[in-house]
Amino acid sequence: MENAIAVKFDRVCQILEQHQRDPHKLIPILQEIQEEYQYLPEEIMTFVSTALGLSTSQVYGVATFYSHFTLSPKGKYVVKVCDGTACHVKKSTSLIDAIAEELGLSSSGKTTEDLLFTLETVACLGACGLAPAIVINEQVYGHMTPESTVQLIKEIKAKEAQI
């Protein structure tokens, strides 16, 4: 266990060194940490604030200001539904409803209990020509319908069940 903690902070130290422990680089530092851990664990944010000579509230303030950062663990598959204007007029909300229903998510919950899926809405993916678009772990799917979206989720579920 102790070893695991040491490894955990090792990686943070590397990231901090890459950015010369420059407090101005707080956002790229947090971005890389989140890429590593999938979210921003509280103890790591405290560690980062000490290392950069910032107060914990400053780090927390930045982490909560930007929607890209998350303070709780996300699912293995992050499903982002674009709700930018172009996707919205092409009925992206019906995709959100369909996915939430398929995954059994309530309006408050965004991640399934088995930590397999996280459902998010984002403001414009820059794929307006493909509206309505969704992204599952960096893979973009365009011209979606509620049916094709649910089909996609089912395929992932089936793949995961085999493992």
Partner 1 sequence: MEGNPHSVLEGMIIAGKAVGASVGYIYVRTEYPLAVSNLKLAVKAAEEAGFLGKKIFGSDFDFEMRIMEGAGAFVCGEETALMASIEGKRGMPMPKPPFPAERGLFGKPTVINNVETFATVPVAMLMGVDVYAAKGTEKSSGTKTFALTGHVAHTGLIEVPFSTTLREIIVDIGGGVIDDDGVNRGADFKAVQIGGPSGGCLTQEHLDMSLDYDNLLKVGAMIGSGGLVVMNQQTCMIKIARFFMQFTQNESCGKCVVCREGTRQMLELLDDIIEGRATAETIELLEELAHVVKIGSLCGLGKTAPNPVLSTLKYFREEYDAHVFDKTCPTGQCEALSRYVIVPELCKSCSLCARACPVDAISGSKGVPYVIDQEICIRCGVCMDTCKFNAIVK
Instruction: Please report, as ranges, the residues that interact with partner 1 according to CB under 8 A.
Output: 22-28, 30-31, 61-62, 65-69, 85-86, 88-91, 122-126, 128-129, 131, 138
Smallest separation (angstroms) from partner 1 to the CB of 125: 6
One-character DSSP codes across 82-116: E-SHHHHHTTHHHHHHHHHHHHT--SS--B-TTSS
Quickly tell me which residue has 């590397």 as its tokens.
14
User: Of 137, 144, 141, nearest to 120 (Cα)?
Assistant: 137
Smallest separation (angstroms) from partner 1 to the CB of 89: 5
Smallest separation (angstroms) from partner 1 to the CB of 64: 9
- Cα 11 to the center of its chain, rounded Å: 20
Beta carbons of 74 and 38 less than 8 angstroms apart: yes
Smallest separation (angstroms) from partner 1 to the CB of 15: 14
Q: Toward partner 1, which CB reaches closer, 23 or 157?
A: 23
- Please enumerate in sequence order all residues whose Cβ is within 8 A of that of 86, keeping only pairs 6 or more positions apart, or say none: 124, 128, 131
Q: Toward partner 1, which CB reaches closer, 2 or 138?
A: 138
Q: Toward partner 1, which CB reaches closer, 2 or 147?
A: 147
Q: Toward partner 1, which CB reaches closer, 138 or 147?
A: 138
